[in-house]
Amino acid sequence: MATQKLISVLFLQLLLVLLASEFSNGQKLKVGFYHKTCPNIEAIVAKTTQQYISRAPTLAAPLLRMHFHDCFVRGCDGSVLLNSTSSNSAEKDAFPNQSLRGFHVIDAVKSAVEKKCPGVVSCADILALVARDAVRMLHGSFWEVPTGRRDGRVSVNSEALRGLPAPSANITQLKATFASKGLSVKDLVVLSGGHTIGTSHCGPFSSRLYNFTGKGDTDPKLDKNYLAQLKIKCKPGDTKTLVEMDPGSFKSFDEDYYTLVTKRRGLFQSDSALLDDPETRAYVIQQATSHGATFLKDFGASMVNMGNIGVLTGNSGEIRKQCAFVN
């Protein structure tokens, strides 16, 4: 009898521990998470972001890309913001992230938020809000950003190399990468539309121009006239020249990207790959022919989906005092 009672007590204690763990780590993000603890958070973020984007609109694209790169490695935990240390090479220094810009914007927003609400708002949430506001300031989507993320304490260079989809990825690889993050095929084709803003160095697509299969050839899926234009801008071995991803419209968040893809003028292989799958192809054509009838709405929805990847909540992680350093 005593043994049975002891077992019952131990089982109850275990159940309470599990429930407490579930509560602390399984909380969901929600719009207005800081309603009581930092009620003006969105206004502070928007004002500070506007100060930078108004002076340098080209910062919007790398800030959006920064949020994407953060979420695809360890989840949306601000790990891409951490600096390397003497004993650890961080995500920020991985090859795919070396072209990221705008870390100073995140630091400025964090500083402004800390003045009003010290120790309350995570860097991961700030990055999600800044990405949204940067898109909106280029006449793009507005979406409500669920918040409540906590900051991670780990950032590893090699994980960024493995976790981020490559610009040379084919449709099978892209679908597998997005599926591994819990994202749908629609999320894949919608989020690819983020390439409507921004620029790229020649390196990520140079093989399409000069050595596509290792025989000095070009990518047959690339429009010949566009190919000729790119060759004028990007000579063999050029790693410094910047090329607009959406020529003529790279500072405006619109549906022109899909029109370019239908004309075989997507800059990366991953752009062209969207025509190789029935579902992604249908969406590309739909947006191109309807002048982006649903693109802005769809983009907001997919950004919310992406923003939920692997989040830390409750007692997990921390609220960093400075975004580049763990506490």
Residue 25 has pLDDT above 80, yes or no: no
Smallest Cα–Cα separation from 112: which of 53, 43, 158?
43
Active-site position among 69, 139, 195, 291: 69
Q: Which residues have a Cβ under 8 Å from the Cβ of 183 and sit 6 or more positions away?
A: 191, 302, 305, 306, 309
Mean pLDDT of 93-119: 96
Of 21-25, 62-66, 93-97, give the lowest mean pLDDT range. 21-25
* Predicted pLDDT at 4: 54
Is residue 69 annotated as part of the catalytic site, yes or no?
Answer: yes
In the three-class reduction of DSSP (H, G, I as helix; E, B as strand; rest coil), residue 99 is classed as coil
pLDDT in tens, 229-257: 999 999 999 989 999 999 988 889 999 99
Cα 262 from Cα 247, distance rounded (Å): 15
Task: Report residue 143: phi and psi, to 5°.
Answer: -140, 150
Q: Is 244 helix (H, G, I), strand (E, B) or coil?
A: strand
Q: DSSP letters of 113-154?
A: HHHHSTTTS-HHHHHHHHHHHHHHTTT-------B--BB-S-
The answer to whether the Cα torsion of 208, 212, 218, 221 is positive or negative is: negative
**Cα atoms in the Cβ-side hemisphere of radius 13 Å centred on 89:** 10
Mean pLDDT of the chain: 92
Q: How far is the first Cα of the chain from the last one, in angstroms, to the nearest whole number?
A: 50
pLDDT of residue 249: 85
Task: Give pLDDT, residue 248.
Answer: 86
Classify residue 84 by its DSSP letter: P
CA-atom Rg of the chain in angstroms: 22
The yes-or-no verdict on residue 24 having pLDDT over 60 is no
Rounded mean pLDDT, 109-120: 98
With bands split at pLDDT 50, 70 and 90, how would you rate the model's confidence at 41? very high
Q: Each residue of 283-323: pLDDT tens digit?
A: 999 999 999 999 999 999 999 999 999 999 999 999 999 99
Q: Report whether pLDDT(128) > 70.
A: yes
| Full-model pTM | 0.90
**Best CA proximity match to 38, nearest among 115, 130, 103, 106:** 115
258, pLDDT greater than 90: yes
Two tokens, residue 196:
């409507």
Closest CA to 145 of 30, 48, 297: 30
Average pLDDT over residues 194-215: 96
- pLDDT over 80 at 218, yes or no: yes
- Give 148's strand partners: none
CA distances (Å), origin 324, targets 133, 156, 160, 161, 309: 21, 14, 17, 20, 21
pLDDT digits (tens, 9 = 90+) for 145-185: 999 999 999 999 999 999 999 999 999 999 999 999 999 99
